[in-house]
Amino acid sequence: PQPNPEVGAAVKAADRAHVFHSWSAQELLDPLAVAGAEGSYFWDYDGRRYLDFTSGLVYTNIGYQHPKVVAAIQEQAARMTTFAPAFAVEARSEAARLIAERTPGDLDKIFFTNGGADAVEHALRMARLHTGRPKVLSAYRSYHGGTQQAVNVTGDPRRWASDSGTAGVVRFWAPFLYRSRFYAGTEEQECARALEHLETTISFEGPSTIAAIVLETVPGTAGIMPPPAGYLAGVREFCDKYGIVFVLDEVMAGFGRTGRWFAADLYDVVPDLMTFAKGVNSGYVPLGGVAISGEIADTFGKRPYPGGLTYSGHPLACAAAVATIGVMAQEGVVENAAALGASVVGPGLRELAQRHPSVGEVRGTGMFWALELVRSRETREPLVPYNAAGEANAPMAAFAAAAKEAGVWPFVNMNRTHVVPPCNASEAELEEGLAALDAALSVADRYVE
Ligand code: PLP
């Protein structure tokens, strides 16, 4: 890439003057001006290149600027850039068919949204209307989106500012052995006790008041915690027993991230509703949706579904999904995530953990990994406190700065770094990223007690 610092300075100045950024104190921001991106890399206007170990916000599952998807978007733009949602349109029909072909069980009807949060909003609305019940159960360690209902089912602190006592949401603890809420010593204990806790919660809330249980199949932003074997099957049983709609949120875990088309495939579980976004078209054009079971689709067979969006199934976004799914199938992207996750990323991270005392735990699958950074392996005290900011967050900030210095852009959340490269990253790219993390972890090690 040709450096062009003057353009970079102008881009940055206009951003600082006029762009209001997500989740941020505006005056404390210092966003990098990005000049371009290709494959697993992006670069700034000074000519500095970074390996993207974040896949954007865990969505560029096929990397940046895949030529086949760019061409498909260009072709669709030339033919039919947009068309209203009430019509049958080729790109929309084909995207729905390809998605339904891959979703588990009888999730064969697709309601398209513009992203993940609105997919969650609609899934929960469908569940409430289908059951006629008011409440939703969700997990504390979760993220489901930034709109009012989606952020209220979210567990993490981003909920607090928008917490609404009327949202009809009850939260519970899902399994997470490393920081067990159940005093468990094994995955089997954690699983059994988490299920017992969930069933007690259902009983005390009143099964006849609960419309849905919503879970990320593998919780993502909250820490990439693959559930123990049997947990999701247990939740499925409760949903069947009590007439509750089981919603799996696969906005982050879906479309290859875990080394399967959907994380639900890892656990052989079929929800009643499944949300998706991000990887469906690698975010080249905004798109999300809900995959709907036959039974719930039938509820809205003769009775209208009271919800919609101007851009539901936008042809440009759907053409990008058709091309992305095609590329993923032709190029073995899902298989690549599974194979290199198992042969390179997992072993590489475990090897780093052996040498770096700041690493408390390594967990994940496919291209979906987290390192839990701690002050002490013995006490498991997080490297920074829960929801730390400013000075209290200095160790994680120093880790992130060191990773960037070493050429990799890291995903950092609280006391964790997530390793979430594109699902089609090569072995050489992954090795390059692991070497950069090695250097950055030496900085984190300085804070170990
Ligand atoms: N659900 C999950 C599991 C997510 O990870 C996200 C975003 O990170 C969302 C929902 C919200 O998606 P969006 O930001 O597209 O609204």
Residue 164 pLDDT greater than 90, yes or no: no
Residue 165 pLDDT greater than 80, yes or no: no
How far is the centre of ligand 1, averaged over its atoms, from the C-alpha of 185 (Å)? 31
Residue 291 identity: A
Asked whether 250 lines ligand 1 (CB < 6 A), one says no
Higher local confidence (pLDDT), 251 or 149: 251
Task: State mean pLDDT over 254-259.
Answer: 98
User: Which ligand 1 atom sits closest to the C-alpha of 120?
Assistant: 10
Q: What pLDDT does 161 receive? A: 84
d(CA 354, CA 343): 17
Please state, rounded to an integer, the average pLDDT across all residues of the chain.
Answer: 97
How far is the centre of ligand 1, averaged over its atoms, from the C-alpha of 344 (Å)? 27
Asked whether 216 lines ligand 1 (CB < 6 A), one says yes
Asked whether 224 lines ligand 1 (CB < 6 A), one says no
Task: State mean pLDDT over 170-178.
Answer: 97
List Cβ neighbours of 130 (8 Å cut-off, separation of 6 or more).
211, 245, 295, 296, 299
Structural domains in the chain?
Answer: 5-62+332-445 (3.90.1150.10), 67-330 (3.40.640.10)
Quick one: 210 exposed, middle or buried, by C-beta within 10 A (0-12, 13-18, 19+)? buried
User: Which ligand 1 atom sits closest to the C-alpha of 221?
Assistant: 5
Task: State mean pLDDT over 13-40.
Answer: 96
Q: Dump the DSSP string for 200-262.
A: HHHHHH-GGGEEEEEEESS--TTT--PPPTTHHHHHHHHHHHHT-EEEEE-TTTTTTTTSSSS
3-state SS string for the chain: CCCCHHHHHHHHHHHHHHCCCCCCCHHHCCCCCEEEEEECEEEECCCCEEEECCHHHHCCCCCECCHHHHHHHHHHHHHHCCCCCCCCCHHHHHHHHHHHHHCCCCCCEEEEECCHHHHHHHHHHHHHHHHCCCEEEEECCCCCCCCHHHHHHCCCHHHHHHCCCCCCEEEECCCCHHHCCCCCCCHHHHHHHHHHHHHHHHHHHCHHHEEEEEEECCCCCCCCCCCCCCHHHHHHHHHHHHCCEEEEECCCCCCCCCCCCCCHHHHCCCCCEEEECHHHCCCCCCCEEEEECHHHHHHCCCCCCCCCCCCCCCHHHHHHHHHHHHHHHHCCHHHHHHHHHHHHHHHHHHHHHHHCCCEEEEEEECCEEEEEEECCCCCCCECCCCCCCHHHHHHHHHHHHHHHHCCEECEEECCEEEECCCCCCCHHHHHHHHHHHHHHHHHHHCCCC
Asked whether 221 lines ligand 1 (CB < 6 A), one says yes
Residue 211 pLDDT greater than 80, yes or no: yes
pLDDT tier at 158, thresholds 50, 70, 90: confident
Provide φ and ψ at 191, rounded to 5°. -65, -50
Asked whether 120 lines ligand 1 (CB < 6 A), one says yes
Give me 277's structure tokens: 């976004």
User: Which ligand 1 atom sits closest to the C-alpha of 288?
Assistant: 15
Residue with tokens 């120093």: 398
Residue 162 pLDDT greater than 90, yes or no: no
Q: What pLDDT does 3 receive? A: 92
Asked whether 251 lines ligand 1 (CB < 6 A), one says yes
Q: What pLDDT does 12 receive? A: 97
Q: What pLDDT does 157 receive? A: 85
pLDDT digits (tens, 9 = 90+) for 293-304: 999 999 999 999
Task: State mean pLDDT over 237-250.
Answer: 98
Pick the residue whose CA is nearest to atom 12 on ligand 1: 116
Residue % of the chain over a pLDDT of 90? 94
Asked whether 156 lines ligand 1 (CB < 6 A), one says no
How far is the centre of ligand 1, averaged over its atoms, from the C-alpha of 448 (Å)? 33
pLDDT digits (tens, 9 = 90+) for 318-359: 999 999 999 999 999 999 999 999 999 999 999 999 999 999
Residue 214 pLDDT greater than 70, yes or no: yes
Q: What pLDDT does 156 receive? A: 83
Distance of CA 140 to the CA centre of its chain: 16
Q: What pLDDT does 102 receive? A: 98
Task: State mean pLDDT over 141-145.
Answer: 96
Q: What pLDDT does 310 receive? A: 97
Asked whether 155 lines ligand 1 (CB < 6 A), one says no
Task: State mean pLDDT over 255-264.
Answer: 98
Q: What pLDDT does 1 receive? A: 66
Residue 198 pLDDT greater than 70, yes or no: yes
